[in-house]
């Protein structure tokens, strides 16, 4: 019989029975949904009371174009937003910066000033729509702009629900939109968490991401282990500031992926919830049950998909949605079938949304809580996954903890090594991929004919630059310089940078100006290149 392995590395047996779950203590390890250790989910009745939120990742071109796409998906039943920003925005470069050439509006929408965020959310009531902001190195100023737009709309601070990603450690590991060195970058993460905890109690000021690390090549167990290690690092950061764990931990959320083997993915989340709950209660002494809850956006990753015969990706997306539902997602997002080619077309985005809706409404996956619980296989798999995650966490400890491992590049090197191993398994056929390394037809995929390519409009750059020039002319420059000066001063000191940043964005300082005011003090990160 062929040996089969989980992505986490352990063998999968052809049959599981009572002997495989003999070590499982039902009360201690599984418990009841909505109760510690939350193995079965963080809510008692899960989807029977509230379905997962559907939140596709959207953004391209100018804020006005993106605003139209937001409204298109909301008109089709999407109930929340997840904003994609272009690379210059993510890296704190204005649209007219020479380094931004060719990148403005490419992989997300361009934001230079508060005026862009005003345009992006025009006609979208921020007291009723929750918005995720996929922004990290620039999370502080972009979230400040978001808070300012909400204020302009007359929304009370306590009603603003937003989730800036604000997870810089995974950027150093996997996604690459770092700007400043590790320590000042961590300070900015903490400033936003602290400011939001004090003034915007319903915001979720950090979304800890295993997702991007998995996309970069790590295993399922590493994805969860690194995510938990990153969460612990942020908790320690806030405790070091003198905050009490229950003041901020209830608003920590997670962003993970669920592509691959369905049962392994479900087990990963069941084990992860259990480990997180124990970590928060036992290690960090949190007493509020909400602090123990691993609330997660679960989605797919482009890595699950193939460029060959792209329509097959629609089917892959449906399995991801099923895995995410069975895993107990609070929020779901799917990649689109054209992901390997282009910025998603409206059609591809609608299909992804419909996939989640079909899973929710038609498939029965949402009918009852944690439907796989009690299966010999699922409980054995959950225990096996827990064990592997703990081994990976021990490995991170041996590297000096996640922050040190990021600084030295050791984690990045391990992720790259795993990516290479994975690719070798694809080449050898050990990991089958239909129409890629097995069941390959005689006719090569001529996918371009089936995919509507996004027509990038270079005029978007001109429009964005013209708008930026107009704002620079019209704003009160004295107020801008004063606020920027306060940012630099505060950066030299130890105060919370969110206060002067709020002031600067309201004066229509540009993102590039704000980023530079900090860069003058913090310097730039030098990557430890290892492969």
Partner 1 sequence: MKVLIAKPGLDGHDRGAKVVAHALRDAGLEVVYSGLKRTPEEIVREAIQEDVDVVGLSVLSGAHVLLARRVLDGLRAQDAGDIAVVVGGIIPPRDVEALKRLGVRHVFPMGTPLPEIVKAFRQGKMSETTEEPRG
Catalog residues that contact partner 1 under the rule CB under 8 A: 87-88, 90-91, 93, 99-103, 106-107, 171, 175-178, 215-217, 306-308, 340-343, 416-417, 419-420, 423-424, 426-427, 436, 444-445, 447-448, 453, 456, 527, 529, 531
User: Least distance (Å) from partner 1 to the CB of residue 470?
Assistant: 25
For 330, list phi and psi in degrees, rounded to 5.
-85, -30
Taking the alpha carbons at both ends of the chain, their separation in whole angstroms is 36
Q: How far, in Å, CA of 529 to CA of 7, rounded?
A: 26
The smaller minimum CB distance to partner 1, of residues 453 and 476, is found at 453
User: Least distance (Å) from partner 1 to the CB of residue 416?
Assistant: 4
The smaller minimum CB distance to partner 1, of residues 12 and 419, is found at 419
The smaller minimum CB distance to partner 1, of residues 103 and 370, is found at 103
User: Least distance (Å) from partner 1 to the CB of residue 84?
Assistant: 12
The smaller minimum CB distance to partner 1, of residues 10 and 456, is found at 456
Q: What Rg value do the Cα atoms of the chain yield, rounded?
A: 23
Q: Which residues pair with 81 in a beta bridge?
A: 131
Closest listed residue to residue 352, CA positions, set 328, 332, 367:
332
Helix (H, G, I), strand (E, B) or coil at 395: helix
Percentages helix, strand, coil for the chain (3-state, rounded to 5) are 55, 10, 40
**Residue 207's CB: how many other CB atoms inside 10 A?**
26
The smaller minimum CB distance to partner 1, of residues 218 and 366, is found at 218
Cis upstream peptide for 300 (omega within 30°): no
User: Least distance (Å) from partner 1 to the CB of residue 205?
Assistant: 22
Angle between helices 139-152 and 182-199 (to 10 degrees): 20
User: Least distance (Å) from partner 1 to the CB of residue 93?
Assistant: 8
Contact status, residue 393 vs residue 233, Cβ threshold 8 Å: no
Look at the block and give the residue holding tokens 């993460």.
Answer: 189
Q: How far, in Å, CA of 377 to CA of 98, rounded?
A: 56
**Residue 84's CB: how many other CB atoms inside 10 A?**
21
User: Least distance (Å) from partner 1 to the CB of residue 10?
Assistant: 24
User: Least distance (Å) from partner 1 to the CB of residue 436?
Assistant: 7
The smaller minimum CB distance to partner 1, of residues 91 and 188, is found at 91
The smaller minimum CB distance to partner 1, of residues 239 and 307, is found at 307
């Amino acid at each position: 019989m062929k040996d089969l392995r989980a992505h986490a590395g352990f063998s999968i047996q052809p049959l599981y029975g009572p002997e495989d779950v003999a070590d499982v203590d039902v009360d201690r390890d599984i418990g009841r949904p909505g109760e510690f250790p939350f193995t079965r989910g963080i809510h008692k009745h899960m989807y029977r009371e509230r379905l997962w939120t559907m939140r596709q990742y959207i953004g391209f071109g100018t804020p006005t174009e993106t605003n139209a796409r937001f409204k298109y998906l909301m008109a089709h039943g999407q109930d929340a937003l997840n904003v994609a920003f272009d690379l210059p925005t993510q890296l704190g470069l204005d649209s007219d910066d020479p380094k931004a050439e060719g990148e403005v509006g490419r992989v997300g929408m361009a934001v230079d000033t508060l005026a862009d965020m005003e345009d992006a959310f025009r006609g979208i009531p921020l007291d009723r729509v929750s918005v995720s902001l996929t922004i990290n190195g620039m999370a502080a100023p972009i979230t400040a702009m978001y808070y300012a737009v909400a204020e302009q709309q007359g929304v009370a601070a306590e009603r603003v629900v937003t989730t800036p990603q604000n997870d810089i450690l995974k950027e150093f590991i996997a996604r690459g939109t770092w700007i400043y060195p590790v320590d000042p970058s961590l300070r900015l993460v903490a400033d936003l968490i602290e400011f939001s905890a004090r003034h915007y109690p319903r915001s979720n000021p950090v979304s800890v991401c295993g997702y991007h690390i998995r996309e970069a090549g790590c295993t399922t167990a590493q994805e969860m282990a690194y995510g938990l290690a990153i969460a612990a690092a942020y908790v320690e950061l806030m405790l070091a500031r003198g905050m009490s764990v229950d003041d901020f931990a209830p608003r920590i959320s997670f962003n993970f992926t669920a592509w691959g083997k369905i049962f392994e993915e479900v087990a990963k989340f069941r084990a992860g919830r259990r480990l997180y709950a124990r970590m928060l209660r036992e290690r960090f002494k949190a007493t509020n049950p909400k602090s123990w809850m691993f609330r997660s956006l679960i989605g797919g990753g482009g890595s699950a998909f193939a460029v060959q015969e792209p329509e097959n990706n629609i089917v892959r997306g449906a399995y991801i949605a099923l895995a995410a539902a069975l895993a107990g997602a609070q929020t779901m997002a799917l990649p689109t079938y054209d992901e390997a080619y282009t910025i998603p077309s409206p059609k591809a985005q609608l299909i992804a949304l419909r996939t989640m809706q079909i899973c929710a409404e038609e498939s029965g996956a949402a009918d009852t809580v944690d439907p796989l619980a009690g299966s010999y296989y699922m409980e054995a798999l959950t225990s096996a996954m827990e064990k592997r995650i703990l081994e990976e966490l021990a490995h991170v400890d041996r590297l000096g903890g996640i922050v040190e491992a990021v600084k030295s590049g050791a984690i990045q090197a391990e992720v790259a090594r795993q990516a290479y191993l994975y690719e070798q398994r694809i080449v050898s056929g050990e990991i089958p991929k239909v129409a890629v390394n097995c069941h390959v037809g005689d006719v090569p995929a001529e996918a371009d004919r089936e995919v509507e390519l996004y027509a990038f409009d270079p005029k978007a750059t001109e429009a964005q630059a013209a708008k930026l020039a107009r704002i620079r002319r019209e704003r009160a420059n004295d107020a801008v310089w004063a606020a920027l000066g306060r940012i630099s001063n505060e950066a030299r000191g130890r105060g919370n940078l969110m206060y002067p940043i709020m002031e600067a964005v309201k004066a229509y300082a540009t993102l590039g100006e704000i980023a530079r005011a900090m860069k003058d003090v913090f310097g730039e990160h030098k990557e430890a290149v290892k492969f």
